[in-house]
Amino acid sequence: VRAEIVAVGTELLLGQIADTNARWMSEQLAAAGIDVTNHQAVGDNLDRIVEALRLAAARADVVLVSGGLGPTEDDITRDAIAAFAGVPLVFHAELETMLREKFRRWSAIGAMPESNLRQAYVPEGARWIVPDRGTAPGLALRLDGIRLYAVPGVPDEMQEMIGGTIVPELRELAGGDVITSRILRCAGMGESAVAERLADLFTSSTNPTIAYLASMGEVKVRITAKAPSAAEAEALAEPVVAEVRARLGDVVFSADDESLEQAVLRLLGSTKRTLACAESLTGGGVGERLTAVPGASASFVGSSVVYTAEAKRRVLGVPDDVLAAGTVTQACALAMAIGARDLYGADVALSLTGAAGPEPHDGAAPGTIWVAIADTSGFTHARGFVSRGERDRVRRWAQQAGLDLVRRHLEGAPLPETSLPG
C-alpha cells in the first residue's frame, strides 16, 4: 500500500509553520507498515489543491489530506475534494446537530457562528469521521480504487482521527500482518556508540528489524516485528528487546517509549521521593518538561529560575566566595542543588548552570555545563562537560544531562563522571 500526504495551508508555503503533521502521520503510517512515498504542501487555493490531489491519486493508493476543514472562507479542502471527485457537497442535518451540540457544551466559546455550518457539508458519497476534540469532521472517500481521507490541520484533532480511525483502517488494508514496535530510549550514549554495540544485530535481523533515531541528547532504538497476530509479533520482538537492553545496560531509560521526564517522574513515584530544581541556563525548561507530564505534582515540588549570581545568592543561599569564583563551576552547581533541596524540602534536588553561548559567560567557554544533584542523605554529585552547538542545543543538552543524572541516581546506576576540571 502506497500513501501520499497532502498538507493544505498557505502558512506552510510562507514558512510560518513547519509541516509537522506530515511528519507525525508518516511516523504512524511507517509503524503500521504502510509506505509513504511522497509529501506535498499546497496553499489555500482551490485549483492547486485539486491539482495536488490528482497528482497524489495518480501515484498512491491512499491520499491523506491535512488542513483546510475549518469554518472560514479560506478553508476549502471540502470544496477541493468535491471538485476533484466531480461530485456536489451535500448538507447533513446530523452534522449540524453535532456542531450545535458541541457549541452548547463549550458555552465558553459562545454561540455557534453560522459560518460553522460549512462543516456540515460533505462531498456526495463520502463518509465523515466524527470529531471528538474539535468541530471539523474528517472525510473519507473511495474513488476509482483510491482511498482519500481529509483531517483537520489542528495537530491534536488530526492525531485523534489518524490514530483512532484511519491507521486502523489502513492496517487492515495493508493485509493480515500485524506490526508491533518497541521503542527503547537511551540517554548518555551517542548514536554511533549505540549502533556499534548493536551492529551485528542490526545486520542480521530482518524480522524484527532494528532502527535508530537520534535527537538531541537521546537515541531511540526501534525494534519492529511483523507477524500474523499481535501476540506472535510481540514474541518475535521480545528476545531482541532483551538482547538490546542487555547490551546497552543502564543507558536505556525506558523500554516503553517514555520521555526522560516521564521516566524520572515514574522513578520518583515508585521510590516515593520528591524533586526540586534550581535552573540557571535552562531558564525553567526542566520544570516545564516535568510539569507537562500529567500527575507531576505527586513528585515534582518546584523549580527556581536563578539566572543571575545575585538570584543564586538570595534565593538559594549560594555563598559569596563560591559566586566570586564563578557561577559556571562545580562548586556553584553543588551549592545550587543543596540550596534548592533545603529551600523546597525536597528529597532530591537538581541544579543546572552553564554558559549557553554564543559568548563566554563568567569566565566559562560557551557550551560549558555543570549539573549537580543533592539528596537528603547528604549525597551530592556534580558533572561538568562541554556541549557543542548553538545556544538552543546547549540548553537542551543541559536538560538531558540533568534529568539523566537524576534518573541514574534514582535507579542506583553509575553516575557519569566529569570531563572538566572543577
The site for Mg ion (CB under 5 A) is made up of 70, 75
Sheet holding 218-227, edge to edge: 209-215, 218-227, 178-186, 252-254
21 binds ligand ATP (CB under 6 A): yes
Any contact of residue 67 with ligand ATP (CB under 6 A)? yes
Among Mg ion, ligand ATP, none, residue 154 binds (CB under 5-8 Å by kind): ligand ATP
User: Which of 63, 69, 140, 265 is in the footprint of ligand ATP by CB under 6 A?
Assistant: 69
For Cα atoms 350, 354, 358, give the angle at the middle one, nearest 5 degrees: 150
Cell numbers standing for residue 233 = 509479533
Using alpha carbons, select from 54, 81, 57 the residue that is nearest to residue 67: 81
Residue type, 88: P
Does 208 interact with ligand ATP (rule: CB under 6 A)? no
* Choice between 109 and 199, CB closer to Mg ion: 109
Q: Contact between 19 and ligand ATP (CB under 6 A)?
A: yes
| Smallest distance, ligand ATP to C-beta of residue 139, A | 11
Q: Say whether 6 sits in a helix, a strand or coil.
A: strand
Nearer to ligand ATP, 64 or 355 (CB): 64
Whose Cβ is closer to ligand ATP: residue 68's or residue 357's? 68
Q: How far is 152 from 8, CA to CA, in rounded Å?
A: 10
Of 70 and 354, CB closest to ligand ATP: 70
Asked if 406 touches ligand ATP (CB under 6 A), the answer is no
CB of 279 to ligand ATP, least distance (A): 29
Distance CA(76)–CA(44), nearest Å, equals: 7
Q: Is 63 in the site for ligand ATP (CB under 6 A)?
A: no
**Binding of ligand ATP by 75 (CB under 6 A):** yes
CB 333 within 8 A of CB 372: yes
- Contacts with ligand ATP: how many residues (CB under 6 A)? 20
Strand ranges in 124-256 using DSSP code E only, listed in sequence order? 127-129, 138-143, 146-151, 178-186, 209-215, 218-227, 252-254
Q: At what angle do helices 260-270 and 391-411 cross, to 10 degrees?
A: 30
Within 10 A of 11 (CB to CB), how many other CB atoms are there? 14
Rounded to a whole number of angstroms, the minimum distance from the CB of residue 80 to ligand ATP is 12
Residues 342-401 that bind ligand ATP (CB under 6 A): none
State which of residues 26, 40, 66, 387 lies at the interface with ligand ATP (CB under 6 A): 66
Candidates 125, 155, 163, 164; binder of ligand ATP (CB under 6 A) is 155
Question: Is there binding between residue 138 and ligand ATP (CB under 6 A)?
Answer: no
Edge to edge, the sheet with strand 380-386 lists: 300-305, 275-279, 348-354, 368-375, 380-386
Pairing outcome for strands 209-215 and 218-227 = antiparallel
Shortest Cβ distance from residue 217 to Mg ion (Å)? 35
Comparison of 20 and 192: residue with beta carbon closer to ligand ATP: 20
298 touches ligand ATP by CB under 6 A? no
Q: Does 9 bind ligand ATP (CB under 6 A)?
A: yes
The least distance separating ligand ATP from the CB of residue 353, rounded to whole angstroms, comes to 35
Q: Which of 72, 25, 77 has its CA nearest to residue 48?
A: 77
Nearer to Mg ion, 120 or 335 (CB): 120
Is the CB of 16 or the CB of 107 nearer to ligand ATP?
16
| Nearest residue (beta carbon) to ligand ATP | 70
Applying the rule CB under 6 A, the residues between 262 and 291 that interact with ligand ATP are none
User: Do the Cβ atoms of 225 and 237 come closer than 8 Å?
Assistant: yes
166 binds, among Mg ion, ligand ATP, none (CB under 5 to 8 A by kind): none
Closest residue to bound Mg ion by CB: 70
Note whether 68 binds ligand ATP by CB under 6 A.
Answer: yes
Cell of 93: 442535518
Closer residue to Mg ion, CB minimum distance, 22 or 170 = 22
Enter the C-alpha cell of residue 29: 503510517
Cα 324 to Cα 94, 308, 309, 312, 383: the distances in Å are 71, 12, 9, 12, 20
Determine which residue in the list 65, 70, 122, 301 makes contact with ligand ATP, applying CB under 6 A: 70
Length of the chain: 422
Report the half-sphere exposure of 203 (CA within 13 A, side-chain side). Answer: 5
Footprint on this chain of ligand ATP (rule: CB under 6 A): 7-9, 12, 17, 19-22, 66-70, 75, 136, 152-155
